[in-house]
Amino acid sequence: MKKSVLACLFASALLSLSAQGAEKIRMGVVVKIGGIPWFNAMEAGIKSEAAKRGIDAWQVGPTAADPALQVRAIEDLIAQKVDVIGVVPNDAKVLEPVLKRAQAAGIKVIVHESPGQKFADWDFELVDAKDHGINHMKALAACMKEQGKYAVYVGSLTVPLHNLWADSAIDYQKAHYPNMQMVADKFGVAESLDDTMRTTNDLMAKYPDLKGVVAFGSQGPIGAGRAVMNRGKTNDICVIGPFSPGQGASLVNRGAIKGGFIWNPMVAGEVFVRVADMLEKGEKITNGMTIEGMGKVKVDEATHTILGNETESLDKANLPKLVKMGL
């Protein structure tokens, strides 16, 4: 009888250990704002890659692009004792204390669009930030024939990556296109369609000779393009920047947006999950390795940054392909 009881207890213990070993990795990804095409595509990538890898991963989309809402979302994930937290920060500095608490709780932290983020295990970028900004300035300069007034929009003055793109673009303009002039400091409006349209209308009124807008932020090119089209200035003002193809295709076809470059947000969602899986399995991330969706990567261990080299051109020829993908 004793042997039977002991055998049952032993079998039960083995089953318990087996169940623990089979527990899925749990990951929550907090994005800047929910319900917009860019982050809807990212969510699709997270879900599809998580299903392939047997990981329990989901996206949390705040109702507004508010760093305080991201802090609350991360605090909730810490309380849930997830294994990995992913974040696309609205404000890198504001998130530092809560990310520090996450790491202290043994949770791995992966960020995207936030180079140099403190209290993150890794930041991954699908394209080198400086090159991304420069490529947009080259496109703007070509459209403006390298002369005239232009404005620069970012999602927020506290979004690190947007500002790095913008600053790289501005620096390149100053060094290579002396006949172009930036009309004012950067405007932190490009995550809001209404704010972007309002700002563009104000600038067109204040600067009748405005020739260009380069906008970094999911709604920036869309809002600027609509404002320019509504004023009948599609032949006079060049709007350049990254945007969701499905949202901006009609504006490109009508000449209100002249183009831009993006990485695929669906792929970014997939990479969140791939990197999380690698970290949880103890796999080392090294310079020159290939990560699916990023190609051959550059790895800076000092800054915990993974750089890929994957972008898509937002021109009339390439847009149909991207729209068909649901972007």
One pLDDT digit (tens) per residue for the chain, 327 residues: 444 444 444 444 444 444 444 589 999 999 999 988 889 989 999 999 999 999 999 999 999 989 999 999 999 999 999 999 999 999 999 999 999 999 999 999 999 999 889 999 999 999 988 999 999 999 999 999 999 999 999 999 988 889 999 999 999 999 999 999 999 999 999 999 999 999 999 999 999 999 999 999 989 999 999 999 999 999 999 999 999 899 999 999 999 999 999 988 899 999 999 999 999 999 999 999 999 999 999 999 999 999 998 888 999 999 998 898 778
Provide CB contacts within 8 A for 312, sequence distance 6+. 261, 262, 263, 264, 318, 322
DSSP designation for 25: P
Q: What is the residue extent of each domain of the chain?
A: 26-127+264-309, 129-262
- The three-class DSSP label of residue 146 is coil
The dihedral region occupied by 293, where left means phi > 0, alpha psi between -120 and 50, and beta the remainder, is left
Calpha distance 59→191 (Å, rounded): 18
Give the per-residue pLDDT at 22: 56
DSSP designation for 23: P
Calpha distance 311→314 (Å, rounded): 10
Give the Å distances, CA to CA, from 245 to 36, 67, 133, 262. 12, 26, 19, 9
Token pair recorded at residue 217: 């932020």
Q: Which amino acid is at 11?
A: A
Give the per-residue pLDDT at 36: 85
Q: How much of the chain is helix, strand and coil, in % rounded to 5? A: 45, 20, 35
CB 312 within 8 A of CB 264: yes
* CATH classification code of 129-262: 3.40.50.2300
Calpha distance 230→43 (Å, rounded): 32
Could you report how far apart the first and last alpha carbons of the chain are, in Å? 65
This prediction's pTM = 0.72
> Exposed, middle or buried, 92 (CB in 10 Å: 0-12/13-18/19+)?
buried
Q: Which of 57, 58, 55, 59 is nearest to 23 (CA)?
A: 55
C-alpha triplet 281, 282, 283: angle, nearest 5°: 95
> Exposed, middle or buried, 291 (CB in 10 Å: 0-12/13-18/19+)?
middle
Q: List the beta bridge partners of residue 147.
A: none
Same fold across 26-127+264-309 and 129-262: yes
Q: What is the fold, at CATH topology level, of the domain defined by 26-127+264-309? A: Rossmann fold (3.40.50)
Give the per-residue pLDDT at 9: 43
How many C-beta neighbours within 10 Å does residue 172 have?
A: 18
